Amino acid sequence: MADVERQHPFLKLALLIGILVGAALVVRATPLGEAFTREGVIDALQTVRSSMWAPAIFVLLYAAATAVALPGSLLTIAGGAVFGFWLGAVLNTVGANIGANAAFGLARSLGRDGIQRIVGARLQGLDKATVQHGFMGLLVLRLIPLVPFNALNFGSGLTALRWRHYALATVIGILPGTLVYTFFADALVQGSTSANAEARTRLWVAGALFLALALIPVVARRLGFKPKTQSTEVS
């Protein structure tokens, strides 16, 4: 019985790894992977676009893909291209947040104990830094476009970061990027179907927004936004 208890965290960690590796293999090694290309997602959404269930199907697809660490950026672009900016932004935001919180939950419930057994006391330093920086630390990372979205989702779940700090920092931190990517996709569609001045202006605005997005962390630091110490409670 004691041996089973000792191995339990490693079995859960193996299950988490199996889920992530399995999802990646399905996408890369089976015909289903074609549906997860930008063209495949757009074609599928265009097919069901007239259905009243199209927005719900898209959100479920986005959330499921994000929960198992599949790339969400192509889904964000597809959402803007198919649904337009306003509806696309709402659907992308909802899908990304559901998926990000599901990924956090998977990592916390299946992976943290096993990682703690493997890393031992060395995880305490990371936990301490995570708790000290808390909400603001994750928020700044979310605002940096080059920081991998899925890595933050699962990495946060493996640390002592409190869920409510994670959820709040995520919903705020991914909003600027989601809006910019959705606007960019919608602008590309408008630009490809129309060569008028308004379409060209939208493309220029999209480019300017990308530049502004990259400068957000720099501006935040200049304005004095720094991580604050949080309590050490883990949830």
Location of structure tokens 């719900």 = 56
Summarised one tens digit per residue, pLDDT across range 98-136 is 999 999 999 999 998 888 888 777 777 677 777 777 788
* Under 8 Å between Cβ of 66 and 154: no
Cα distances (Å, whole numbers) of residue 150 to 153, 170, 187: 5, 12, 26
CA gap 193, 195 in Å, rounded:
7
CA gap 110, 107 in Å, rounded:
5
Summarised one tens digit per residue, pLDDT across range 169-216 is 999 999 988 998 898 888 877 765 555 566 566 666 766 776 776 666
pTM, rounded to two decimals? 0.80
Q: Which residues contact 25 (CB under 8 A, 6 or more apart)?
A: none
